[in-house]
């Protein structure tokens, strides 16, 4: 971001609150001003003294503090900032937001604001996956609240793992600046307004028997970020996703599938489209005849006959009249990344291939960042490592420019 913004940070009562100290420092390093509201529970994890030392501002905690209400007031707090960030957002805070509560300073500000709100959830995986929390998240997304995370990984509690970690500070920074950018730029430019964008995301699960399947190690994060970026640029977006534990971007039509065959059927049903981005890690093979009952261990290793799955990218890229004007494929490789990407560009008849190295040493597969090469006919553009959100936005801006150039040339 080139210009400083005013950010109100609401710190919730979770163990991940300690990350907010680094977040404040990094935001101020970028020139942004930060004011902080702490919930009562947040005091158990970080102190107002340490937070205030980093913000160089008084930390606000009490809705009924006479001095604060006379000098600042929760309504002014709600209106005098460019963005409100709630991090960590606990299950309780999400529930009170969804219910429209205003019984403390944090929820009163959130209810009174007319500014964009970004929420970074953090809680135990069982709490995140609980139907009550998922209902609250769905309601907040319908109300226009943006989400970043949660990340998947080990929890503070020993032996607990899954979705529920607060995303790391670099991803929080990227999400803040993306939200600020979308407010100041994309609403006025509408680069993809009137366009239909299809994005595929996540893995596919090809059944072996009722409890086992073949799959790829895909988190779906890049595809979800692509869908969010296209929506922020004004497009109508259809996100076709395999099994993932991510919250869908606001305002996006989501179609959930399991197998490659289901994904192809969903893509064909969503056509026509102006842009199709195939970011899903589709399983290349499936079991020719899945077992009806669970295969029992101890009865000898089963013989599994594999057959190739349909090639979704190639099928759509050669679809004739229904072919999107811009077809973008992804190539995740562990060796000779550019060589295989160039071959894929030609064999699939795609317009672009977004290639990345997913060998174990890179940490890319399932990670928060990505390093990609944009391969087109006769050209390769290599981008530095950046967050998946920034990769997605850059891709969609390039796609918008491409369509604009084609329209201009046709005129």
Selected residue with higher pLDDT from 1 and 325: 325
Percent of the chain with pLDDT over 90: 37
pLDDT in tens, 55-98: 888 888 776 664 554 445 656 777 778 888 998 999 999 999 99
- The rounded distance, in Å, linking the Cα atoms of 411 and 401 is 15
What pLDDT score was predicted for residue 74? 59
Regarding predicted confidence, which is higher, 245 or 324? 324
Per the listing, tokens 């970026």 go with 229
Q: Residue 79: inside a domain, yes or no? A: yes
**What is the torsion angle, in degrees rounded to the nearest 10, for the CA atoms of residue 364, residue 251, residue 121 and residue 149?**
0
Rg (CA), the chain: 23
What token pair was written down for 57?
């501002």
The strand pair at 83-89 and 6-11 is best described as parallel
Cα angle: 204, vertex 155, 170; to 5 degrees: 75
Six-digit token string for 406 = 């084609």
* In the predicted structure, residue 178 carries a pLDDT above the cut 80: no
Contact 167, 19 (CB under 8 A): no
Quick check: helix, strand or coil at residue 65?
A: coil
Catalytic residue among 216, 309, 356, 369: 216
Same domain, 115 and 138: yes
Q: How far apart are CA 30 and CA 349, in angstroms?
A: 42
What percentage of the chain carries pLDDT values higher than 70?
Answer: 89
252 φ, ψ to 5°?
Answer: -105, 135
- Do 80 and 174 fall within a single domain? yes
The pair of three-digit structure tokens given for residue 216, joined into one six-digit string: 């790829």
Q: Check residue 345 and give its pLDDT.
A: 94
Q: How far apart are CA 207 and CA 358, in angstroms?
A: 24
The torsion of the CA quartet 253, 222, 245, 335, rounded to 10 degrees, works out to: 140
CA distance 151 to 161: 10
Asked if the bond preceding 88 is cis, omega within 30° of 0, the reply is: yes
> Is 1 a domain residue?
no
Q: Residue 224 maps to which CATH number? A: 3.40.50.10300
Q: What's the mean per-residue pLDDT of the chain? A: 85
Q: Are 299 and 150 within one domain? A: no
Residue 201 lies in a domain: yes
Residues 100 and 161 in one domain: yes
Q: How many domains does the chain have?
A: 2
DSSP per position, 308-369: EPP-HHHHHHT-GGG--SEEEEEEEESSSHHHHHHHHHHHHT-SEEEEEE-SGGG--TTSSE
pLDDT for the residue 343:
93
For residue 311, the model assigns a pLDDT of 95
Measure the CA–CA gap between 67 and 194, rounded to whole angstroms: 50
Establish if 342 belongs to a structural domain.
yes
* 211 and 85 in a common domain: no
Domain identity same for 74 and 117: yes
Residue 240 within any structural domain of the chain: yes
Boundary residue ending a domain (184, 210, 228): 184
**15 in a structural domain:** yes
What pLDDT, in 10s, does the model give residues 301-329? 888 999 999 999 999 999 788 899 999 99
Inside any domain, residue 300: yes
Last residue of a domain, one of 184, 208, 235: 184
Q: Are residues 197 and 140 in the same domain?
A: no
pLDDT above 90 (res 375): yes
Tens digit of each residue's pLDDT (9 = 90 or more) over 95-115: 999 999 888 888 888 888 878
Residue 213 has pLDDT above 90, yes or no: yes
Confidence check: pLDDT of 125 > 70: yes
Any domain includes 375: yes
Cis status, amide bond into 150, omega within 30 of 0:
yes
Per-residue pLDDT at 297: 86
Query: 233 and 157 in one domain?
Result: no
- Report the C-alpha gap between 108 and 103 in whole angstroms: 7
**Number of C-alpha atoms within 13 angstroms, CB side, residue 271?**
20
Q: Are residues 360 and 324 in the same domain?
A: yes
Q: Do residue 199 and residue 150 come from a single domain?
A: no
Picking from 116, 150, 184, the residue at the C-terminal end of a domain is 184
Could you give the CA distance from residue 138 to residue 224 in angstroms, rounded to a whole number? 16
**Do 254 and 210 fall into the same domain?**
yes
**Is it true that the peptide bond before 272 is cis, omega within 30 degrees of 0?**
yes
| 328 DSSP β-pair partners | 277, 352
Q: What angle do CA 304, 308, 313 make, to 5 degrees?
A: 150
- Same domain? For 296 and 205 the reply is yes
Query: Domain of 397?
Result: 191-410
Active-site annotation holds for 216 = yes
CATH number of the domain residue 80 falls in: 3.40.50.1950
């Amino acid at each position: 971001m080139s210009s400083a913004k005013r950010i109100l940070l609401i710190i919730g009562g979770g163990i991940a609150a300690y990350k907010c100290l680094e977040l404040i420092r990094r935001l101020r390093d970028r020139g942004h001003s930060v004011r902080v509201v702490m919930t009562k529970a947040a005091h158990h994890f970080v102190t107002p003294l340490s937070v205030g030392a980093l913000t160089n501002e008084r930390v606000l905690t009490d809705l009924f503090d006479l001095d604060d209400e006379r000098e600042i007031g929760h309504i002014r707090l709600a209106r005098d900032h460019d963005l409100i960030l709630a991090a960590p957002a606990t299950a309780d805070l999400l529930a009170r937001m969804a219910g429209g509560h205003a019984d403390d300073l944090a929820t009163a500000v959130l209810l009174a604001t007319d500014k964009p709100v970004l929420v970074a959830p953090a809680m135990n995986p069982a709490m995140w996956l609980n139907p009550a929390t998922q209902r609250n998240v769905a309601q907040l997304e319908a109300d226009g609240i943006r989400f970043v995370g949660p990340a998947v990984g080990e929890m503070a509690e020993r032996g607990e793992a899954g979705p529920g970690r607060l995303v790391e500070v670099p991803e929080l920074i990227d999400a803040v600046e993306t939200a600020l950018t979308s407010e100041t730029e994309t609403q006025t430019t509408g680069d993809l307004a009137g366009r239909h964008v299809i994005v595929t995301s996540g893995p596919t699960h090809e059944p072996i028997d009722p409890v086992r399947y073949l799959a790829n190690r895909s988190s779906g994060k890049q595809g979800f970020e692509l869908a969010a970026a296209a929506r922020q640029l004004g497009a109508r977006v259809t996100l076709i996703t395999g099994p993932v534990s991510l919250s869908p971007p606001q305002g996006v039509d989501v179609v959930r599938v399991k197998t490659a065959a289901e994904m192809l059927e969903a893509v064909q049903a969503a056509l026509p489209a102006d842009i199709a981005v195939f970011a899903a890690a589709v399983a290349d093979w499936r079991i020719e005849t899945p077992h009806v009952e669970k295969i029992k261990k101890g009865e000898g290793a089963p013989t599994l006959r594999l057959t190739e799955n349909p090639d979704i990218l190639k099928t759509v890229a050669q679809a004739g009249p229904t072919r999107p004007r811009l077809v973008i494929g992804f190539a995740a490789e562990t060796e000779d990344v550019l060589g295989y990407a160039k071959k894929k560009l030609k064999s699939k008849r795609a317009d672009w291939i977004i290639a990345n190295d997913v060998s174990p040493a890179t940490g890319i597969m399932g990670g928060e960042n990505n390093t990609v090469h944009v391969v087109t006919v006769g050209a390769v553009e290599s981008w530095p490592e950046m967050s998946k959100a920034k990769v997605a936005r850059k891709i969609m801006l390039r796609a918008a420019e491409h369509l604009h150039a084609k329209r201009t040339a046709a005129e």
